[in-house]
Each structure stands twice: as C-alpha cells, then as structure tokens.
Structure 1
Amino acid sequence: MQQKISILGCGWLGSALATELIRSGYEVAGSTTSLEKMSDLSEAGIKPFLMNISSIDSTIQNFLSAEILIVAITSKNIEHFVDLIECLEASEVQKVLFISSTSVYPNTNEVVRESTNTLLTPLVEIEQLFTSNPSFHSTILRFGGLFGYDRKPGNFVRSKKRIPNPEGYINFIHRDDCIAIIGEIIKQNAWDEIFNACSDSHPKRRDFYRKEARKIGLDSIEFDEDSKNEFKIVNSEKLKAHLGYSFKYSDLME
C-alpha cells in the first residue's frame, strides 16, 4: 500500500514537492485556498482539498487521513494553528513536518545554529505547539530565503530603490534542495528534530545582488550604505551530518 502524505499549502513550494513525492511513489493530498487551483492539483495527480485553517470544517479529517502531514503555509496566526492541532490529535497523522524559516533567529552578526536562542515571535510559538505535542512526532525545518525557477532574486532588486545591509551576508536555498531535503527526512524517518537548511555559501548581499541583477538585465543597482549591515550566517551542518546530505546548489555565486 502506498504511504499517504498530506501537504497543507500547495503553493510555489508545496505543489512542486507534491509532484516529486508522487513521482517517488507516495499518495499525496494537497490543500489550496483557491477554487481555481483545484483542477491544477487534480491534473498533477494530487488529491485536492479546498481548505483554509482560518475556517476549518469537517473535510479536514479526510485531508488528515495520512501518516504524514507537511505544513507549508505562511500563516502565523497562533489560534488557527491551535485549532489545526486539535484536529491533528483526533486524526491518523503520526508525523508532522513543519516548514519554518531562519527568520526566527536574531541578527547577531555571527553564525547561528539550531541551539541559538530564537526571537520571541508567533512563528516560534507555532513551532513549539508542534514540538511540545505528544500526539505525533514533529520535525521543524527552517529554510533560508527560497529561490529557483520563476522566483529570481534579481526581481527583489528591481522592486527596491536601495538594497539595505550591503556588507551583510545572505542565507538562501534553492527549491530543488528544499524538496530533496524533505524527501530525505521522510525516507530516513528523521523526526523529533529541528534543522536549519541554507546553502553552504553565504556571499555578501552586495556581491550576490549585483550578480543576480545582471541576470535580469539591470545594469546598476543602489545600496543603502548608511544601513547597519546587520546579518546572521545560518549554519546547516547538523542537517548535512544527520541526513548525509550535500546541497545541489551549494555555491550561490556560481
């Protein structure tokens, strides 16, 4: 019997992830808040659910009829997640992978690891709702800035008048690496963990955005030379060691 996985949030990352999981032999259900997107999910082989955790209804138990739930939505509403977890407690789900962000770490102008103290933010509280619940196993995956395919960092430059913190360092990860890492967590049963996930290289914002601007035809960009140049360098060595993982897009300046 195929292992069942449900993905809450089939957006830019979730849809591509679902397609790859199906290719790997899993049966995948996926949620969207857009009625128009339901047919797209169905055509991709994803069992579609129209769902928003701000107004959970009875269909959620069918959606949660899976061994694994991957949470890939951007909501940071704590009460909505409390409601979701209540449903999880009564469901078949045994394992939860919560997609979080390295934004939970303060800008220390140093290297940050999973053991580094986090900020007091709603996202951190939501992480703790999952990790403290004994009804299921949870792994928290903290991604850096996502890029790849139609999500080009150069377009961020186009929308900004001046780029802040030019002497700071970036923490990015390609979507292909995101999907491969999630696949390894599932395959290796790497539950009850917290992992950072960012490419190995951390170029200066000035160098990286100049390179990316050239890719989209921008000859010149402006930097805020008066900004404080606050940054953090996110260390992903725990993930690499635990999963034996090597990044596909390791050098962001290539």
Structure 2
Amino acid sequence: MLGSGWLGLALAKHFTSHNYTIKVSTRQGEKQQKLIAQGFDCYLVDTETQTSISDFLSADTLIVNITNKNLAAYQYLIESIEQSPIQHVLFVSSSSVYQNINDWVTEDNKLEDENSILFQIENAFKASSGFKTSVIRFSGLIGPNRHPGRFFRGGKQVKQGDTPVNLIHLADCIGIINSIIEQDAWGQTFNGCADTHPIKRDFYPFASQQLGYPVPEFIEEESLHYKIVNNAKVKQVLNYRFIYPDLMQIPQEAYE
C-alpha cells in the first residue's frame, strides 16, 4: 500500500481485517512510528528521493495511492516494481483526467485530457510488461471527516452552481478496490462514482443543512463546464453494488 492518507489508511484497515498481509508506507518518520504503534508494518518511502524500496516491494500486489504528480518519480517507481516480485498494480487515479465535455464520460470513449499528468502516469503504468495494471478513477471523495457540507464553510462561494457533482463515498471506494483485487480484474480501467449527479445548487445546500451550517452562496456564471462520470462498467464487469448510490440519501452517520 503505497500511501497511507485518508483513503490509504482506511484500505489498510479493511484488508488487515480480512486477513491480508499488508505493508503500508509514509514519507514522514513521525507518522511511520504512529502507524507501527497501531500494528502496521510501515515503511518510510519517498518516491522522489529514488532510494531503494526493494524491501517494501516484496509483495504480490501494490496499490499506488499517492498525490505525487512527478512523472520522473513514477518512472523510477515503475522500474523498481519491474525488478520486484509484484505481479499486479492498482493505480488510484481521478476522474479529473477527463475533459469537460458537458456530457457523460466513460472509460472507453477516449475523452481524457492528453495533457493531464495523471493520465500520462496511468499510461506509464499500463505500458509496463513487467506487471499488470488496473486503474480506478475516483471522483470526489466523501465519507468520515469529509462531509460535503463542510466544503464551502466560512463564506466560500460555489462556482458553476448548475453543474452536476461527481462524488463517491469512502465505503464504495474500498468496496470497488476490494472487488478488483478479489476478482483479479487486471488490465482494466474503471470509473468510481455514485449513481446520482445532483447539481451543486441542490446538493451543497442540502449537505450544509444536514450539519446545520448556513447555505453557501453561488457565483452566477453563464458558461458551464462539466462532465458526468458514468459508473456502469464497475457494475457490469465487477457486478459491484453500491453501498451509497444516491448522494442525497447518504445518512449523516455515514460521515462519522
């Protein structure tokens, strides 16, 4: 598990509870000690320093879940993986790789932004013949300690109020990743997003009121720029059933 942030740590806890042998990484020595104290086999890994990570990469499957956008660092990581026992890589990406076409985007309709560094990193992993890569493109992440009602606190104004949101709950992120690994769904690209896409003007006031916060203000704009992320493939290929398919029906306790 390369990366132990909000999603990475939740994944580590999930797989540990399902009797997988897990290694996690962090770039911070203090955090490493905390994770070791919590019982995790935690390694100090910084891909930008390009130091040896062979001990960390002694595994069957690697989940890459870091925010680094340094292409050279990823090239070094890929070379390191090719020299390791790892057979499968799951790269956690983002639906931000798609262009804003004011319509639906799927994994197969070739609407990625060719200039996106993230898209270039995806392709670098896929191009390796040393291991098989699957890519999961998550939309905006919500869940415990990430309630969307807090996104626009303190007078922050909302742009593009009449555009649809693309969001996914942490529980479904974990569920989709678990399905990919358990079903050996390698060599694939998947979108991870809830079924529903309410417009911001409806969703964020609803989310704010759920917490008792003031309704955010919206900036009126004539020109709209958006995409609607289609999630049909994870349901068809993985037979995945969403825990929280409807963003307007997620109970408050799901954010606790």
Q: TM-score range by the shorter chain?
A: over 0.9
Q: 1:247 aligns with which of 229, 239, 242?
A: 242
Contact 2:104–2:229 (Cα < 8 Å) also in 1? yes
1:111 equivalent among 81, 104, 108? 104
Give the one of 209, 232, 235 matched to 2:230: 235
Q: What is the distance in 2 between the residues matched to 1:64 and 1:128?
A: 21
RMSD (Å), alpha carbons? 1.2
The aligned runs of 1:120-159 (5 Å cut-off) are 120=114, 121-158=116-153
- Pick one of 64, 70, 77 that aligns with 2:63: 70
Q: Aligned letter for 1:150?
A: N
- How far apart are residue 154 of structure 1 and its match? 1.7
How many residues get paired? 247
In the aligned structure 2, how far is the partner of 1:111 from the partner of 1:9? 30
* Change in 2 beyond 3 A, CA 1:62/1:216: same
The aligned counterpart of 2:77 is 84
Question: 3-state SS of the aligned residue for 1:211?
Answer: helix
159-168 or 29-38: bigger deviation: 159-168
Q: TM-score, normalised by structure 1?
A: 0.94
Determine the C-alpha separation between the residues in 1 that align with 2:153 and 2:231: 29
User: Quick check: 1:167 aligned with 2:162?
Assistant: yes
Write the deviation string for residues 97-148 of structure 1: whole angstroms up to 9, x where unpaired.
0000000001111010001320021101100001111100000000000010
2:19 alignment partner, SS class: coil
Q: CA deviation at 1:218?
A: 1.9
User: Residue 42 of structure 2 is aligned with which of 32, 45, 48?
Assistant: 48
Aligned to 1:4: none
CA shift for structure 1 position 215: 2.4
Quick one: distance in 1 between partners of 2:154 and 2:180? 35
Give the TM-score of the pair, scaled to structure 2. Answer: 0.93
1:251 Cα deviation from its structure 2 partner? 0.5
* Paired amino acid for 2:165: I
Using the alignment, how far apart are the partners of 1:42 and 1:247 within structure 2?
A: 32
Aligned match of 1:21 in 12, 15, 18?
Answer: 15
For 2:180, the equivalent position in structure 1 comes to: 185
**4+ residue segments displaced more than 3 Å:** none
- Per-residue deviation at 1:225? 1.1
Structure 2 unaligned regions, length at least 5: 250-256
Q: Secondary structure at the match of 1:8?
A: coil
CA distance in 2, matches of 1:36, 1:128: 33
* Match in the other structure for 2:29: 35
Instruction: Find the aligned partners of 2:131 and 2:15 in 1 and give their Cα distance.
Output: 21
Identity %: 42
Contact 1:197 1:236 in 2 (8 A): yes
SS for the counterpart of 2:205 is helix
